């Protein structure tokens, strides 16, 4: 979190963890403006990472995006059928050759969505702790009905109708 120019500060590189890191950045920046020492300042100082290290991180991060973009589409992850989905659980399953982000609620109803993230097209995964669909690429999150919870995605996941829960 450097001073970008006299009196101008910036914080970036949250990597999908803006709720937590943005709050920390706010505290570090307000302390910097007030001239108060902050024990986290050095931990988040941009120059702590050598250019070569940050380049390899950039390559790794984008390789992860490329991996998910391809692997998630070609079934490298295990698929399952809707009938094995337990109440309260969600999973990306394959039905008739199509991937579906399926969640079964406690009443047994299947909530079926397109698993293709509306940000840049990666395949979302089920987050059992938060009961949400989370994108592994840039951290977008969606609720069980596909509504955007957190960006960078701005459009909801598409609903899939006519999914037979007995399948």
Residues contributing to the site for ligand FES (CB under 6 A): 117, 119-122, 135, 137-140, 152-153
Give, for 150, the enclosing helix (H) or strand (E): strand 148-150
In b/e form, how buried is each residue of 71-100, taking b as 16+ CB within 10 angstroms?
ebeeeebeeeebeebeeeebbbbebeeebb
Nearer to ligand FES, 137 or 144 (CB): 137
**Least distance to ligand FES from the beta carbon of 16, Å?**
8
Nearer to ligand FES, 85 or 135 (CB): 135
Asked if 33 contacts 4 with a C-beta cutoff of 8 angstroms, the reply is no
**Least distance to ligand FES from the beta carbon of 147, Å?**
15
**Least distance to ligand FES from the beta carbon of 68, Å?**
8
**Hunting for tokens 């990666």 — which residue is that?**
122
Nearer to ligand FES, 28 or 135 (CB): 135
Nearer to ligand FES, 29 or 152 (CB): 152
What is the distance between the alpha carbons of residues 68 and 116, in angstroms, rounded to a whole number? 11
């Amino acid at each position: 979190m450097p001073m970008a120019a006299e009196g101008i500060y910036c914080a970036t590189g949250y990597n999908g963890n803006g709720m937590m890191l943005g709050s920390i950045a706010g505290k570090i920046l307000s302390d910097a403006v007030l001239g108060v020492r902050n024990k986290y300042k050095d931990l988040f100082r941009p120059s702590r990472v050598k250019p070569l290290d940050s380049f390899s991180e950039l390559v790794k991060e984008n390789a992860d995006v490329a991996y998910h973009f391809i692997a998630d589409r070609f079934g490298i992850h295990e698929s399952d059928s809707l009938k094995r989905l337990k109440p309260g659980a969600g999973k990306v399953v394959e039905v008739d050759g199509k991937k579906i982000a399926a969640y079964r609620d406690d009443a047994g109803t299947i909530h079926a969505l397109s698993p293709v993230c509306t940000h840049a097209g990666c395949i979302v995964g089920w987050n059992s702790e938060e009961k949400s669909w989370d994108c592994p690429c840039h951290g977008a999150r969606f609720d069980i009905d596909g509504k955007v919870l957190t960006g960078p995605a701005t459009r909801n996941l598409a609903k899939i109708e006519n999914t037979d829960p007995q399948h």
